[in-house]
Structure 1
Amino acid sequence: MGRTGNSWPLLVALVTLARLSEQGNLIVTMNSRTVKAIVNEDVLLECRVSGYTKEIDLKDVGIQWLFQALGAPDSQKREMYQFTGGKHTPYRKGATIFDDELKKGIASLFLPSVQFDEEGDFTCVVFITPDNGIGKSSMTVSALPMVKLSSPAITIENGTEKSVKCVSSGFYPVSIEMNWRQKTKDGEKIILKHICTESPVKNDDGTYSVSSRLRLRPTLQDNGNTYICYVNHRSLSGALQLTTQLTVKEPEVVIPAGIITICVFVSTLMCTALVGIGFLVYLKYLKKVPPKVSDIGKPPRIVHLQEALLNCQITGYRPENITVRWSLQRRQDERQRMIFEWTYTPGSMQDPVPEEHQKFILTPESQFDKPDESFKFEVPTVQHNNDSSSSVNCKVMFWPDIYKDDGAILQVQVEHSTLGKPIIKTDMLKVEGSEPRMTEIVIPSCIIHEEVLAVTCPINGFKPRPLAITWYKQKDNITKEIVKLHPERAEFVEGSETEQPKYVHRITELEYEDKTHSVASVLHFVPTIEEDHEAVYICEVKHPATGSVTSKEVNLDMKAIPKCDDIKLSPDIPIVDEQAYASCRIHSFFPKDLIVIWRKGEIVLEEMNADSEAVFGKDGLCYFTSHLKFIPFREDFGKILTCEFRHASIRECGKTACSLTPLVSPPLVKYIRCEPEFPEAGKVATIECYAYGFFPKDTMFMWFKNDERTDDPGITSTDPQLDEKTGFFCCKSQWKLLIEPNHDQMEFKVEVLHFPTSHRPSRASFNMKLGGH
């Protein structure tokens, strides 16, 4: 192109012809009619994929636009544009596919300033893994003719003659229709005689010009007639017509003296000349002339089931009566059979061609007039030349079948009154197939360990069926055959005789209007790092009809998605303000590159690269345990400790988390105080202590008086209460005692004992001052 399995039932060589298979293939919609473009204008060739409502990930999309010039063989198709792996590669200057449209399933191709050599067939190949679809449309590129008439009015003296010229220029393609018509008070009719139309001339810019001249020798009755030049061309929506008005006048006659003598002399000369001219006219216009018959014209290549135009030109014969017969002898036929006969006599072109003048080949089994569907004959049109001779071009459209028509003998036989025996032209038909064209094998952008993979090989534009498709796997310099699909044998899948096959092979197929085929060979399997990383998969295609052997290969770059265990804490319940440890085991990933980030809430605690510490297991996968040292604070109660990891196999971070709930926290003493502040001897006072911020709730208050512990019955404590805002407990302890004089300046102390943190008791004290001292 422009860059230029195991004991499963075996598939048939190629699946029955179908549109897209029912296994999720794409429906591609393109321009329903031929796109008619004018040279140097911009064109948008439509290509839409149906059934996608959500935005498509462009990493899973492959697009290929192919172009085949009009009349070119399939082997000359070239690539116009390619989109794969998110990368645009245009092979035609200015060609564009828009990403925003592509995300909606629209792969339309924008071509600026189209040229004549871009006329032909366009193929849009779409892959959205694992599905595929193909669409086809055609485009013509034309140039509009500029038509001029030599004069809008013409005056001719009665008995004389003049000509009027009609010129068409700047048109493309070369095929153009020009004719003259005469419009009188009785109506309008086509003029067939006295017309000289030149052969088209090619201009420097690739367009063509042609002129046609009408010779007029009118009488006075023709005065006021209108002559119309009609021009019809593919680029026009309707025929162009330019008119000229004819005026015929009598000449002024002045006979000078002595003219009679001169006239006698001239008359004598003219009589002599007329005799000579009459003889020349006989030779040029009346004498019978045998036809000249060309060889049978045909395309350079006749391709299986592709329309081909055959023709035979018969020129320069006189008189007009002629008979043409076409005969065919296929390899299996014992004799030639007539497939078409045409006889022309003067006047038959104005009347419908009688059925008895046309005969078609009958199939051997049929007793009815059923024509051979491989041929479609065009009833010839006789052209009259200036020398009164005639010419005819016999055309036949032919849809060859390589199995029937290759090596067939085609014969044209021409009979004319000037011939003693018919002129015969013979040609042997050589029918060829179209070689398959392979594009790059399509795989996902990221291939994951132990996830189902579809490896798709697109094979396009071949005919006739069938193909032989073989898949190979190459690893560690060992190549083995894993799938083989042969047109005359059952399918082979590796391991199918002894074990469940690793590979499943499926075929989807399209057939186009021109009977070419496209196939997508899809290999489904579950790859593993150990077996398939850096393995090369090769798809080889053999086409028996053309003998071609082509192949494509793809290298698998595998990845394995990391898995992680729950975070482990040591101790299981961390203690506030004391060092704690966290660990997270991340395993079964590939390649080794792994970034680990520890977070406490939104705060990053540590970031590390696992590359140097990760180890490979027996399964070829990587294993790594990440460790974290941290000190929790009371404010961390309820926060989330997260272990995040980034890896090439995943688009977003993977993570696992645990809540720092609960946290072991020793109590804090908010206050110790006496009520009243200055008690008096002989009266009762209350010493109160408030403790908070501890977890769990198991606490005990121990009171001391001058460092001696007391279990005074006046000591009471409230049950711990949970503070919903902080998640910690709080409680109070009171000591009601009768104040004695010796209590003055005595130290009263409380120790809050928290069992989980008994090594860190909380203490508070005060010295009592009595009032009145």
Structure 2
Amino acid sequence: MANRAYCLVLPVILGGLLLKLWEPQAVSDSLKVRMNEKTQIVSFNANVIINCELYDFHLLPLEINGIEVRWFHRRTNSANEVKVFEYYGGKQTSFRSGASISISGLRMGDASLFLPLIQLQEGGEYRCEVIISPNRAQATSRLEVEAQPSSILLPQEVVVQEKKVFTLECIVAGFYPEPVQIIWKKVISGTHSLIVDNSEAINISSNNDGTFNATSHLILQPLLEDNGTIYQCVVVHKSLLTPLQSSTTLIVTELVKSTDVEKTIMYVLLIVMVLGFCVWFFVEPFAKGNTQVTALCRWSKDWWRQGLRQHQALRLQQRQLSRVVRRLFGSNLRHRVQ
């Protein structure tokens, strides 16, 4: 009796097992997508691929006409989400210029998004959504866009007079994000460097493309022994693996001084002027009617006037010479700094 019951139950058990084995795989598979867990850091204007892949899904290759893919972007510190790309019914629709996915990659479960020439404002959170009816899966990933400094504007050498207060300027251009550190160093013995503290606060300005510029000033009052000294402008920014730096060399010149000959001429003219004034002022009132004394007074008066004119002309020449020297060194310096 027991054997007979066993024979009746056994076909039922075997039939159940066969039905389980022949059940469609889609019933047991769950749709899952995977994206980068770490923030993806990319360079400004680079071509970028944001990964989004199906995993633990065994029905590959896929019938792509039955797949729907959507990509969304949300900027940093923003609650609004914007659709970037959509694939549906075998058609790609880009809401951001150049956005696309690989059709051959999608057949193998790769829905990664391609974005050419990434811009600074495109950093933030990206969401990938994949639909294989009736299943739906999604994941998010973060993207950060950086721009390395494009240049450091610092002259190779600058000319300055000794003991004159002088401002050295270093301009760092085209970086993002905004935080930046600029350090001034003085090179000692050609190998060692010493950080210089007498620099002003950094001035930050923005460009039309969203990048920033920074300007730092170093105040100097060099002596003749500082001639040939090398100063370095060192830039520290998160986009740089190592600090960026540029160097300049000081050319210190002596102060422009009046020569001894010019001083002697000035003293002689001053004495002649004083004597001529004395003769004119004190002698002439008592010498009326005396032609010789009157002639001497007139001669003294003419000498005094001539000496005054020469003195004024010499002073004018000195002022003009000083302006020329200042303009020469000043324009040369500004030209080098620019």
Q: How big is the shift at 1:241?
A: 0.4
2:186 matches 1:182? yes
CA contact (8 A) 1:180 1:227 kept: yes
1:569-594 alpha-carbon deviations (Å, 9 max, x no partner): xxxxxxxxxxxxxxxxxxxxxxxxxx
Q: How big is the shift at 1:105?
A: 0.5
2:84 matches 1:77? no
Label 1:149 to 1:112 Cα distance change in 2 as closer, same or farther (>3 A): closer
Q: How big is the shift at 1:217?
A: 0.9
For residue 105 of structure 2, give the secondary structure of its aligned residue in structure 1.
Answer: helix
1:383-409 alpha-carbon deviations (Å, 9 max, x no partner): xxxxxxxxxxxxxxxxxxxxxxxxxxx
Higher relative contact order (CA 8 A, sep 6+): 2
CA contact (8 A) 2:31 2:57 kept: no
2:250 matches 1:246? yes
Q: How big is the shift at 1:253?
A: 4.8
Q: How big is the shift at 1:175?
A: 2.9
CA contact (8 A) 2:148 2:176 kept: yes
* Matches for 1:732-751 after TM superposition, within 5 Å: none
For residue 109 of structure 2, give the secondary structure of its aligned residue in structure 1.
Answer: coil
Using the size of structure 1 for normalisation, the TM-score is: 0.28
Q: How big is the shift at 1:148?
A: 3.4
1:102-144 alpha-carbon deviations (Å, 9 max, x no partner): 1100000111222222111111122334444332222223333
CA contact (8 A) 1:25 1:132 kept: no
Report the counterpart of residue 138 of structure 1 in structure 2: 142
For residues 39 and 31 of structure 1, what CA distance do their matches in structure 2 show? 19
Report the counterpart of residue 213 of structure 2 in structure 1: 209
For residue 163 of structure 2, give the secondary structure of its aligned residue in structure 1.
Answer: coil
CA contact (8 A) 1:151 1:164 kept: no
Using the size of structure 2 for normalisation, the TM-score is: 0.61
Q: How big is the shift at 1:168?
A: 1.9
For residues 78 and 25 of structure 1, what CA distance do their matches in structure 2 show? 27
2:130 matches 1:126? yes
1:73-130 alpha-carbon deviations (Å, 9 max, x no partner): 2xx0111122344443322222112221111000001112222221111111223344
For residues 226 and 210 of structure 1, what CA distance do their matches in structure 2 show? 21
Label 1:168 to 1:194 Cα distance change in 2 as closer, same or farther (>3 A): closer
For residue 99 of structure 2, give the secondary structure of its aligned residue in structure 1.
Answer: coil
Q: How big is the shift at 1:196?
A: 4.6
For residues 255 and 148 of structure 1, what CA distance do their matches in structure 2 show? 42
Report the counterpart of residue 44 of structure 1 in structure 2: 49
For residues 49 and 193 of structure 1, what CA distance do their matches in structure 2 show? 58
1:537-584 alpha-carbon deviations (Å, 9 max, x no partner): xxxxxxxxxxxxxxxxxxxxxxxxxxxxxxxxxxxxxxxxxxxxxxxx
CA contact (8 A) 1:147 1:166 kept: no
For residues 159 and 195 of structure 1, what CA distance do their matches in structure 2 show? 20
CA contact (8 A) 1:82 1:90 kept: yes
| Higher strand proportion (structure 1 or 2) | 1
For residues 170 and 114 of structure 1, what CA distance do their matches in structure 2 show? 16
CA contact (8 A) 2:147 2:239 kept: yes
Query: What 5-or-longer segments of structure 2 have no aligned partner?
Result: 1-27, 268-338
For residues 160 and 98 of structure 2, what CA distance do their matches in structure 1 show? 56
1:653-676 alpha-carbon deviations (Å, 9 max, x no partner): xxxxxxxxxxxxxxxxxxxxxxxx
* Matches for 1:458-469 after TM superposition, within 5 Å: none
2:102 matches 1:98? yes
For residues 141 and 61 of structure 1, what CA distance do their matches in structure 2 show? 30
Identify the match of residue 226 of structure 1 among 230, 249, 260.
230
Runs of at least 4 residues off by over 6 Å: none
AA paired with 2:100? T
2:86 matches 1:56? no
Q: How big is the shift at 1:221?
A: 4.7
RMSD: 2.9
* Percent of pairs with identical residues: 29
For residues 161 and 208 of structure 1, what CA distance do their matches in structure 2 show? 29
Count how many residue pairs are aligned between Structure 1 and Structure 2: 236
Label 1:207 to 1:26 Cα distance change in 2 as closer, same or farther (>3 A): same
Q: How big is the shift at 1:59?
A: 4.2
CA contact (8 A) 2:233 2:246 kept: yes
For residues 26 and 238 of structure 1, what CA distance do their matches in structure 2 show? 43
Label 1:151 to 1:88 Cα distance change in 2 as closer, same or farther (>3 A): closer
For residues 234 and 196 of structure 1, what CA distance do their matches in structure 2 show? 20
CA contact (8 A) 2:154 2:170 kept: yes
1:400-448 alpha-carbon deviations (Å, 9 max, x no partner): xxxxxxxxxxxxxxxxxxxxxxxxxxxxxxxxxxxxxxxxxxxxxxxxx
1:229-271 alpha-carbon deviations (Å, 9 max, x no partner): 11233433322100012244544654643799xxxxxxxxxxx
CA contact (8 A) 2:154 2:247 kept: no
For residues 153 and 125 of structure 1, what CA distance do their matches in structure 2 show? 58
For residues 199 and 93 of structure 2, what CA distance do their matches in structure 1 show? 58
For residues 93 and 150 of structure 1, what CA distance do their matches in structure 2 show? 38
AA paired with 1:187? H
Identify the match of residue 34 of structure 1 among 33, 36, 39.
39
